[in-house]
Structure formats: structure tokens, C-alpha cells
Amino acid sequence: MPRVRQFFVLFVAFGFSFLVPSVLRAQNDGLQRIRQDAPYSFALQVTENGQTKDLTGEFNKFLDSNRAKGVVFHTRTHPVVKSPVGDGRVELELGGKAQLIMITEITSQAMSRKHRYGDNGEPLYMVSQGQGKTKYTTKEGREREIQWKTNDFFAVPPGSWIEHSLAPGMNSARLVEYVGYGVNSFSTADIEMDRGSGGGGGEGGNAPMEWLTQTGPGSPLSFDNLKWPGGYFPNIKDPRPPLENRIVLDVTRVGHRTHPLIYLNAEDEPATEDPLTPMEAAAFRASRKQVHRHGGSGMYYILKGKGYDDYYKKDESPKRYEYSEGDIVGIPVGSYHHYHYNASKTEPLRNLAVVPRYEEAK
């Protein structure tokens, strides 16, 4: 090929690369990298009279009008609005742009239509309240039914057709949905403190946690070696075998790649009062508590008990957020240190953590 033609072809290819939105760029693992400063449309299809309808546009307009911002949400009482799926929903601005987090309410008057979140949407479900069942059909045509109740947790394979319904005698039920559409792509400023702590999202996921250096007798918690295989985890409020520190829940066997870190967390020791003076508290807590930070945007569902978190960045005063059973808590975007405090002297604190996959924006 003549040199001029080679230059022209390279110039055209280079030019078209700028026309591809950064939000849609995918690496060779097939997952989209979704920037936090760019718009993104969550895919949704439903079936109606045997026909498939693409409701992506209508669904995203609904989400834009029904999006709640905050850190702590009570999933059992938060208002919802009838959605294009037919049930009641509200989006929670948690988990980063690559995750669609919703409270979904199913009632006898507002049932879910058969739906799916595009070819690659990866749904997780935490049953906030009620009983029911979920039927799903995978892209390969396999069918399965999961019967669930309050505090059950389950995953559905990517791209599946999904239909929720109530158990006999139930008037309503609520689910917390975590739908992964890709990898959160964060700016350097948001995750710069997490370099060297497993922040990158490789094929095997990432380990976006780093414990603050201990300056006293305390020692970091370690993950339990036990992994529960599969995608359905009943009765995680009081799991068996006994929960010591943490139990990792493995959803890779049902095809999830955007949820690399899911675990049950136990905080049985009651909190003791400390002065919480600006940043003197950091070293003090590190000496007796497992103060830590996550990259990305981790989330905690409170399964049992009540407590509070203190979040803070370098040179900032801590901010306290209180929560109780049925709440979902989202770590603010950025490198926030925090610890989960048990507010009760007699009852344990249990939470389910979901930390989405993330990496530094290229």
C-alpha cells in the first residue's frame, strides 16, 4: 500500500476512535468501561403478547425522574413509582454509573412484567421484605425458579428473562436490585489513594480493599476461606455455618463479572464512645478498630441490628451516618476511610456488602 494511502487509513481510523463514546469502550474481556462523568442508558426489554419490546428509552426517562440521592435509604418504606416494568421502582444513586441500584416493589395491583436488562445486565437481588418467586430463562434457554423470602439473596445469570411474582397470601414484597452493566471507570482523583491495594479490575475481578495501617494491638480482619458456591443464598441474616468475621458469597458460577466482592459482615462488638475530633480520631481508631477504605462505590445492606458509619477523607472531619435493619448504605465516591460500628450492647450487627468492579479511567 502506498505510504500516502497508509497515512490516510490511519488518520481515518484514529479520527473515528474519537467518535466512539468513552462510556462504551470495551476491552478484550467484553465488558464496557463506564465513566462517571458521562451519560449512560440502562438497557431494558419486556415481552408483551409474545412480542419483545425495547423500552430502553422509556425506562431511562423514568429513572431520570425517579432517582434518589443520599447515603442511607430505608428500603422497606422508601417511596416508589409505577415503572415501565409494571411494578413500583425508584433508582438509588449508589454503586457508580456502571451499576443500576433500585428498590422494586411488587404488589397484587402492580406485578412485574417479564423483562431483562439487555444481553449483558447482571442482576443481584436482596429480598428486603415479603415472599415470592422469580422465574428466569437464560440466554441458552435454561429455565429456573427461585422461591424467596425476607433476607434471601440471589443472582440471575446475565441476559436472562426475568419474572417476579408474589407468594400466595402476600399483598406486597420488596427487592433491592443491583444490576451490573459494566466496569466503573473512575478518575485518578477518586481512587488515587487505592493504588497498590488491588484497585485494578483484571479478568478475575479486583480486591478493592486496603486496611489502614495498624498502630496498636488491633489486627486486620481476614476473609473466611469459605465460599458458598452458586447463586442462591437463603437465610443470610443468621447464616449457617456460624459467621465469624466474614463469609464470601461467590456469584461467578452464574456468570457475574461485575460483582467481584460480595460478603457477609459481622460486627458483634458494641461501639465505645470516642471524641471524633477532626483527624486525631483516625490514628486512635486504627489502633483499636479495623478502619479501612474501598475504591469504587461499595454498598451495605443491613440484615440485622443497628449501627453507624463514620466516613472521612484526609484533612476532613468525619461524617456520621446511622442505619438499622432494612437500610442500604452507599459509601460516597472517593477514597473514604470508614468503619462499621454496632450501636447495640446486646444485639449483633450483620450486613451484606456488594463492592462493584472498578478501575482507573484510561
| pLDDT at res. 290 | 53
Q: String of b and e for 304-314 (b: at least 16 CB within 10 Å)?
A: bbbbbbbbbbe
Contact at 8 Å (CB) between 151 and 303?
Answer: yes
| pLDDT at res. 346 | 82
* 3: confidence class by pLDDT, cuts 50, 70, 90: very low
H helices, E strands: number in the chain:
4, 30
Per-residue pLDDT tens over the stretch 335-362: 567 777 888 888 888 889 898 888 877 7
- Give the CA distances from residue 299 to residues 6, 22, 36, 329, 356, in Å, rounded to whole numbers and listed in that order: 50, 25, 17, 6, 9
Name the helix (H) or strand (E) containing 14: helix 3-17
Asked, for residue 298, whether it belongs to a domain, the answer is: yes
What is the rounded CA–CA span in Å between residue 106 and residue 89? 9
- Give the CA distances from residue 5 to residues 14, 15, 53, in Å, rounded to whole numbers and listed in that order: 14, 15, 45
Q: Is the pLDDT of residue 200 over 90?
A: no
Contact at 8 Å (CB) between 357 and 121?
Answer: no
What is the rounded CA–CA span in Å between residue 239 and residue 236? 5
The CATH number covering residue 348 comes to 2.60.120.10
Name the helix (H) or strand (E) containing 20: none
Query: Which strands, in side-by-side order, build the sheet including 143-148?
Result: 51-54, 45-48, 115-116, 161-166, 132-137, 143-148
Range of the domain at 350: 208-357
Total domains, the chain:
1
Asked, for residue 264, whether it belongs to a domain, the answer is: yes
Rg (C-alpha) for the chain, rounded Å, is: 22
What is the rounded CA–CA span in Å between residue 250 and residue 232? 10
Asked, for residue 339, whether it belongs to a domain, the answer is: yes
Q: Is the pLDDT of residue 280 over 90?
A: no
Kindly report the pTM of this predicted structure: 0.79
Asked, for residue 23, whether it belongs to a domain, the answer is: no
| pLDDT at res. 235 | 66
Asked, for residue 90, whether it belongs to a domain, the answer is: no
Per-residue pLDDT tens over the stretch 42-68: 999 999 888 999 999 999 999 999 999
Averaged confidence pLDDT in the chain: 75
What is the rounded CA–CA span in Å between residue 258 and residue 172? 30
| pLDDT at res. 241 | 55
* 177: confidence class by pLDDT, cuts 50, 70, 90: very high
Q: How far apart are the first and last CA of the chain?
A: 32
**Nearest CA to 302 among 322, 327, 321, 320?**
327
Asked, for residue 269, whether it belongs to a domain, the answer is: yes
Asked, for residue 227, whether it belongs to a domain, the answer is: yes
**Nearest CA to 253 among 351, 352, 154?**
154
Q: What is the mean pLDDT of residues 301-317?
A: 83
Asked, for residue 187, whether it belongs to a domain, the answer is: no
Q: Is the pLDDT of residue 219 over 50?
A: no
Residue 17: phi, psi to the nearest 5? -60, -25
